[in-house]
Structure 1
Amino acid sequence: MEGAEGAPVVTPVIETTGLTKAYPRVTALDHLDVTVGAGVTGLVGANGAGKSTLIKILLGLVPATSGSARVLGHDVATEGTAIRSLVGYMPEHDCLPSDVSASDLVVHLGQMSGLPYAAARERASDVLRHVGLAEERYRVMGGYSTGMKQRAKLAQALVHDPRLVLLDEPTNGLDPSSRDDMLSLVRKIGEEFGIAVLVTSHLLGELERVSDHVVVLDSGRLLRSSATSDFLHATGSLLVEVQGPHDADRLLGQALVDAGLTARPAEGSMIEVEVRDDHTADLVRDLTVDLGLGLVRMQERHHRIEDVFREGGAGSVQPV
């Protein structure tokens, strides 16, 4: 399809208009208008923000109260079967049969997605290797660690070579090392496999690391949707860390204020200094030297996604 100027028209991966899901005592989604394109999109919000409800509606598993949504050009209200044939889904909660091996599960779900048995076995072997379960794929999953179970859930979402995968809290319950491994896999799916990804999390730092685009939900409403880089813009201030006496940061902070700069304590023992002009960094450096302190680092301060929640008043979303 081409536009008026001959350029191809790119169909959004996901598009919702006025999407609402109301239950008797709570509105899970409230007139949600959002568009998701290719790449890795992070869907962030506190528990209860509507993330899982949105995914279930997009899969055609739960009907919306009002509004509309399309996935890969298909209407979720009438084309749920077509959507599910094109989409992989990794649920948040543990749903694996304990007496079945990962290989048998992934092969079975590949067949359910329409693959012949031989093709399903080949695809299962490939995806289990990609997610790091090559050696353990024949073991029953009842003996798997949490990290291994999450990898098996990811493998079954990929076995039928989907155009989009929906990953609901894929790092849930993982230790820091396993979480890093899972995030690397999520990024690999988007970058190397070329599959569009919508990944949910209530941990802000995770989405900063892996997402091209971030959608922020608060109590079922859209708080913000933009490129991840737009969240991380410079704030016009410097973060300064010095070493020396136990009160080194206080000494430098007072010297900066005496020199006419605005300075305040920041995270840890750092100081945040507002940039007055092009010479602010030089003045910070010179004052540090004059006080006999060591300059450990000086860098531009950037907004993080968590700042959006503070400014927007969203619920308890956790930084990483």
Structure 2
Amino acid sequence: MIETRALTMRFGQIEALTSLDIAVGDGVTGLVGANGAGKSTLIKILLGLLEPTSGTASVLGHDVATQGPEIRRLVGYMPEHDCLPPDVSASDFVVHLGRMSGLPATVARERAADILRHVGLDEERYRQMGGYSTGMKQRAKLAQALVHDPRLVFLDEPTNGLDPAARVDMLQLVQRIGRDFGIAVLVTSHLLGELEKVSDHVIVLDGGHLLRSSATADFLHHTGGLLVEVLGGDAARDQLGEALARAGLACRPRGAVVVVDPPSDPLAVHDLVRDTVADLGLGLVRLQADQGHLEDVFLPGGGTHG
């Protein structure tokens, strides 16, 4: 779907992207990194809206340097920032964007009604968008990106400005696009934990460099350690950690839990933890395997520049 080779972008003395080599296939690909990592710059290059300083990139087999209009005809784009006309209804707006993408008027109206229903704006589609909540505006932006049935969509920070419940709803929509609609998705976020829930593949940028690109499952491997949580807050957590350390286990606090390093005999350690919790008279909330997370790639030794 997408391929870049030695892609570099400079703005004066600032290098936004540095010799970037990435490949994006089907499904949902998460593009993650802190604000300023180069995510939005990369998307604008892939859309043919910015000319890279050096290197090459192709989208759906088309060269971004010479075939930008064709790329923009074939893909959908949901921009990060609010760009909706306030005095226009979602229905009229999505129909208009459908017609601009080449759909006949009747087909555009049918597609707009269908896609607005899919994104949850069916009952609100005739309201002017200036009165929409942030969540509704994000859904309208998503609808216009999908109306022309693209093969690939770029979703730039689709959860931006949403409350936790609306974030979950938006991420579920993103997952459905890739899974049920069969449309390849490149979705950006600076919140790494979000995308590990919905992405098949993750690309991590750091200061314009490729930090890591791999299947999401590779980030979420079982570390071999254990997470133990008990009732009673930090005091109970520390009490348990000290008791487990006296019993010979290597452990440390992480938020509300005690992390036990990978043991040589997992079954025996499970029994030891259970018995220690019982001996201390604490309430056991959970005892589970510790998995890696996307954030771990930013820890020392967690990733290398590509």
Task: Tell whether the structures are fold-level matches, with TM greater than 0.5.
Answer: yes
1:124 maps to 112
Specify the SS of the correspondent of 1:137.
coil
Q: How far 1:313 moved relative to its partner?
A: 8.9
Amino acid corresponding to residue 176 of structure 1 in structure 2: P
Amino acid corresponding to residue 230 of structure 2 in structure 1: V
C-alpha separation between the residues in 2 aligned to 1:233 and 1:251? 29
2:264 equivalent among 277, 281, 293: 277
Amino acid corresponding to residue 273 of structure 1 in structure 2: V
Amino acid corresponding to residue 61 of structure 1 in structure 2: L
Is 2:49 the partner of 1:61? yes
Amino acid corresponding to residue 27 of structure 2 in structure 1: G
CA contact under 8 A between 2:6 and 2:56: conserved in structure 1? yes
Specify the SS of the correspondent of 2:99.
helix
Specify the SS of the correspondent of 2:127.
coil
CA contact under 8 A between 1:223 and 1:312: conserved in structure 2? no
C-alpha separation between the residues in 1 aligned to 2:84 and 2:230? 51
Amino acid corresponding to residue 278 of structure 2 in structure 1: V
1:24 equivalent among 12, 30, 44: 12
1:295 equivalent among 279, 284, 287: 284
Specify the SS of the correspondent of 1:94.
coil
1:214 maps to 202
CA contact under 8 A between 2:296 and 2:302: conserved in structure 1? no
1:229 maps to 217
CA contact under 8 A between 2:10 and 2:16: conserved in structure 1? yes
> Counterparts in 2 of 1:88-107, with a 5 A limit?
88-107=76-95
1:74 maps to 62
CA contact under 8 A between 1:17 and 1:31: conserved in structure 2? yes
C-alpha separation between the residues in 1 aligned to 2:188 and 2:238? 40
C-alpha separation between the residues in 2 aligned to 1:281 and 1:40? 36
Q: Which runs of 5+ in 2 are unaligned?
A: none
Amino acid corresponding to residue 276 of structure 1 in structure 2: P
Normalised by the length of structure 1, the TM-score is 0.90
Q: How far 1:312 moved relative to its partner?
A: 6.4
Specify the SS of the correspondent of 1:210.
coil
Amino acid corresponding to residue 131 of structure 1 in structure 2: V
RMSD: 1.6
Specify the SS of the correspondent of 2:70.
helix
